[in-house]
Structure 1
């Protein structure tokens, strides 16, 4: 599954197994073939992800949205730290 992290300064892409986000209504884990959706990310929260190479990493998001399709996730960061 592909994750694109899009911010005003850059675009980064990762091959991932899953991503975990915090939303204003709770925690959400997204894997391949997840139902399509657009969700607001909880302000000032950490996004956790597992890369296909087995490495886990996190991304701090001040403000943003996540757009999910069956095969791709786009993390749109609208405000950076």
Structure 2
């Protein structure tokens, strides 16, 4: 994280994935996070675009949550 500058707002980098033919949330999760089971984080972050996590379409662009954000949510669910 960059050094704080008075009056400045830190905006974290947002990663995205453009869906291609043959993609699945599980495959994107495995490529991005090394674990396909984290596909639910992608689904949760993109519910405005995804009605059914088994049906995604080429051309859609999904936000990929940062790994530390996923870990924080999962830790909150456990604790």
- The TM-score normalised by the length of structure 2 is 0.26
- The TM-score normalised by the length of structure 1 is 0.26
More strand by share: 1
More helix by share: 2
